[in-house]
Structure 1
Amino acid sequence: MSHNQETSLEQLFMNDDSLTEKQKKILAAAIESFSEKGYAATSTNAIAKKAGVAEGTIFRHYKTKKELLLSITAPMMAKMIAPFVIMDINKVLEHDYDHLEDFLRAMVKNRMEFIKKNAAMVKILLQEIPFHPDLREQFIENIGKKVFGRFVELVKYYQDKGDIIDMEPSSVVRLIAASLIGYVGAHQLMSGSPGWNSEKELENSIHYIMHGLKKG
């Protein structure tokens, strides 16, 4: 599957033959509701009404509201984020980008297309991960373990080239991630607001990262 063929999470669920039609409606309603109101403020009764099913139907498929949340986030992280981030990193390791800033610019622009298609789901992740240890564990299992190691390889690659400072690679990864997640969060909140320029903000974020990591 190429980047141009990436689907949204809703499409992923709609094409999943293992799910019943009612489950698909429940998942779609839950994504919309969690995104709009947040997990804590959303009741299973409200999700059921939006999905056009009885509340008991939700609990026949998902034991708790938390299980419903995790059943939404797991496929996104395992099937829609990790594989394509790793693909981006592999391009660098195959020498497609000479400098870290070129890779960061290309990767973020590519991932922003994914974010546009999955704005509601990305919003849920950004909102809920800080408050749910089991969601953080899910993130670590599906993305952290699969992607973090590849990013460490990427950092070592650019360190060997003399492109960035000789700092512990895992620390470099965390610093880059913090900056880029901050950019994505700001984009989600500010996009469309007067004075917000996504391209300019991306360049500012990359400049900020590279200024801190640039070697001598």
Structure 2
Amino acid sequence: MPQQEPVDQWIQELINMGDEKMTEKQLKIVQAAVEVFAEKGYASSSTSEIAQKAGVAEGTIFRHYKTKKDLLISIVSPMMSKLLAPFVLNDFKEVLEGEFPTLEGFLYAVAVNRLHFARKHLKIIKILLQEIPFQPVLQEEFKQHIARRVIGRFTEIIEHFKAKGEVIDMPTPVLLQFAISAMIGLFITHFIILPDQPWDEEQEIRHTVNLILHGMSAPQL
């Protein structure tokens, strides 16, 4: 029997979380919405397209969800708060709590760990990366359930390496913003902007870590 896709497992969990059991049609709508949102993005998707993929009338969607945005939030919000956060934090725990002798080693471990996670759960990750910048509800969910817990640990790690003299004396929030932006940029480029472009993952991770550590300036002679 083929292994079930991770996103399908999450949809099953989403069904189990609800107070009322999903109908067969509602389940098809949710599955189709995840596929369409991941492939085309929320703004470029239509409820008619989702309905066609689900094999239901478009009016059936609106009997369960008032708007397309309600459909998006109903899928992503509980996934983030009750499913994604544990997946992210439990899967990330080994890296966050690990002992790394150098900042380079820590950044490399973060990149490898998160790329592996993103590849396993690509559809829902694509939806989150595409929609969080434009959906205040999802931004708040992300801050509440994931960012605050991860940022706290990242801050401790950066402060540790600052004390060792491996990091320049700049405000830690600024350093975190720069490092996280570079990492997310790596993910977005590979999985969303240029998904079909061949790349050497090991080399790209090393390049990204090197840029975080040393910037773009050439060494002064």
Query: Which TM class, normalised by the smaller chain length?
Result: 0.7 to 0.9
Any idea what the Cα deviations from partners look like across 1:1-52, whole Å, max 9, x if unmatched?
Answer: xxxxxx7233111244235233332121111111222212212122122112
Quick check: 1:89–1:150 contact (8 Å CA) kept in 2? no
Residue 29 (1) aligns with residue 27 (2): no
Q: 1:95/1:51 Cα in 2 relative to 1: closer, same or farther (>3 Å)?
A: closer
Hey, what does 2:194 align to over in structure 1?
190
Q: 1:172/1:124 Cα in 2 relative to 1: closer, same or farther (>3 Å)?
A: same
Higher radius of gyration, 1 or 2: 2
Distance in 2 (alpha carbons) for counterparts of 1:80 and 1:161: 37
Code of the residue aligned with 2:72 in structure 1: it is L
Q: 1:181/1:73 Cα in 2 relative to 1: closer, same or farther (>3 Å)?
A: same
| RMSD (Å), alpha carbons | 2.5
Quick check: 2:95–2:110 contact (8 Å CA) kept in 1? no
Any idea what the Cα deviations from partners look like across 1:71-100, whole Å, max 9, x if unmatched?
Answer: 222244334544455456654564532222
Unaligned runs of 5+ in 2: 216-221
Distance in 2 (alpha carbons) for counterparts of 1:85 and 1:117: 12
Distance in 2 (alpha carbons) for counterparts of 1:153 and 1:141: 19
Code of the residue aligned with 2:25 in structure 1: it is K
Quick check: 2:81–2:141 contact (8 Å CA) kept in 1? no
Indicate the percent of aligned positions where both proteins have the same amino acid. Answer: 46
| TM-score normalised according to structure 1 size | 0.81
The 10-residue stretch of structure 1 (79-88 or 146-155) with the greater mean CA deviation from structure 2: 79-88
Distance in 1 (alpha carbons) for counterparts of 2:136 and 2:48: 24
Any idea what the Cα deviations from partners look like across 1:140-191, whole Å, max 9, x if unmatched?
Answer: 2332223222222222222233332232121111111100010001111334
Q: 1:114/1:90 Cα in 2 relative to 1: closer, same or farther (>3 Å)?
A: closer
Q: 1:92/1:167 Cα in 2 relative to 1: closer, same or farther (>3 Å)?
A: farther
Distance in 1 (alpha carbons) for counterparts of 2:49 and 2:39: 12
Deviation at 1:208, TM superposition (A): 0.5
Code of the residue aligned with 2:144 in structure 1: it is E
Code of the residue aligned with 2:9 in structure 1: it is Q
Distance in 2 (alpha carbons) for counterparts of 1:14 and 1:190: 30
Hey, what does 1:9 align to over in structure 2?
7
Q: Pick from 101, 106, 113 the counterpart of residue 104 of structure 2.
A: 101
